[in-house]
Structure 1
Amino acid sequence: MRVVNTPEGTSAPDPEALGAQPAPLSPRGARLGPAGAGPEMAFDRPLQVGASGGHGPIGYRVEAYRPGRSVWFAFLRPAGFAGGHGLEIEPLGGGRSLLRHRLEMTVSGAARLSWPLAFRPLHDALVEDALTRAETELGLPPTVRRWSFWVRVLRWFLSGGRARPQAPAG
């Protein structure tokens, strides 16, 4: 099964406002990652081509990195995930830009079930939380993106019953 997922991004006043932020979703203190809404990213070295790491059960390697502009991660795990995902800042002209997340992969084996039932809803909620946090960090009014009932159930289950009932606002 081929999966291409490009949720709507976050618009910023200018490309430099986004590019001046810490590397999107990088470990330890990146202000554009989802605050407390999921497992924190960790890498074996600073964000650069060849760094490997991930978050939770998802593992990947940095395949391409243009500081302040884009990062692309290739999946290493779980089994059945082939492809990658990344973030890019797209200049829109007129001093505006768009932060966009893109996911391109094929799933096989058990991932044909685990992706649509668990990984996709959790992934989409995590990306939406990150985009909301980006808006907040840029001083823009955050778009409220509520978790679905299924995401709340999955987060509660994965946290051993300790998950918050709703995503953070920013």
Structure 2
Amino acid sequence: MRVINSHKRTINQPISMVYPLFKTLASPNDLVWPYEKWPAIKFKNGLYVGSSGGHGRVRYTIIEFTEGESIKFQFSKPIGFNGTHQLKIEELTENSVQISHIIRMETSFKATFFWIFIIRWLHNALIKDAFDKVENYFLTYNKETTYSIWVGLLRNLYKRKSYKTKHA
């Protein structure tokens, strides 16, 4: 199945204020990735082309990195996710940017079901949380996306499974 999954958000700040947050991605002081709610994103050799890593059970390798603009990853796991995802920052005006995340992939038969019923839901919630985190950096109040019942159920099942695996 062909998958194109796109998320965009306008941040009313100049790129000179937003881009420094993206330089913290996968660092101990990550100001983009919502590691407080999701498995942290990590890379073996930092944010460099060829560095491999991921988050949770999702693995990928950095295949393109343009400082101040975008970072693109090639999936290696889950098996059957054949494609890329990309995080971008684009200047819209002198005082606003658009941040975006897009997945472009083909899925195998088995991976299609995994995407449709599990990963897509969790992924969409994670990206909204990441965009909230970036936007909240500049707000005087905290914006927080509410999870659907299905996302809440999947997160609880995943946490239980992770807990059993770590403590067995």
TM-score (normalised: structure 1):
0.87
User: Which residue of 1 is the match for residue 102 of structure 2?
Assistant: 102
* Greater helix share, structure number: 2
Matched residues in 2 for 1:140 and 1:35: separation? 21
Matched residues in 2 for 1:115 and 1:128: separation? 17
Matched residues in 2 for 1:107 and 1:94: separation? 39
- Check whether the contact 1:26–1:41 (CA below 8 A) recurs between aligned residues: yes
Aligned: 1:128 with 2:128: yes
Q: 3-state DSSP class of the match of 2:7?
A: coil
Aligned: 1:45 with 2:42: no
After the TM superposition, which residues 60-75 of structure 1 pair with which residues of structure 2 at under 5 Å, given as runs? 60-75=60-75
Instruction: State the number of aligned residues.
Output: 163
Mark the runs of 5 or more structure 1 residues left unpaired by the alignment.
Answer: 164-170
Cα 1:30/1:80, change in 2 over 3 Å: same
Matched residues in 1 for 2:24 and 2:111: separation? 26
Cα 1:29/1:12, change in 2 over 3 Å: same
- Check whether the contact 1:70–1:89 (CA below 8 A) recurs between aligned residues: yes
Q: 3-state DSSP class of the match of 2:157?
A: helix
Cα 1:32/1:120, change in 2 over 3 Å: same
Tell me by how many angstroms 1:56 deviates: 1.1
TM-score (normalised: structure 2):
0.88
- Check whether the contact 2:8–2:98 (CA below 8 A) recurs between aligned residues: no
Matched residues in 2 for 1:24 and 1:84: separation? 21
User: Which residue of 2 is the match for residue 86 of structure 1?
Assistant: 86
Matched residues in 2 for 1:119 and 1:154: separation? 9
Give the partner amino acid of 2:3.
V
Tell me whether 15-24 or 103-112 shows the greater mean CA deviation.
Answer: 15-24
After the TM superposition, which residues 148-163 of structure 1 pair with which residues of structure 2 at under 5 Å, given as runs? 148-160=148-160
For residues 57-110 of structure 1, give each alpha carbon's deviation from its aligned partner in whole angstroms, at most 9, with x where no partner exists.
111000111223211111011111011111111110233211111111111131
RMSD: 2.0
Give the partner amino acid of 1:114.
F
Identity of counterpart residues, as a percentage?
A: 30
Aligned: 1:21 with 2:46: no
- Check whether the contact 2:21–2:134 (CA below 8 A) recurs between aligned residues: no
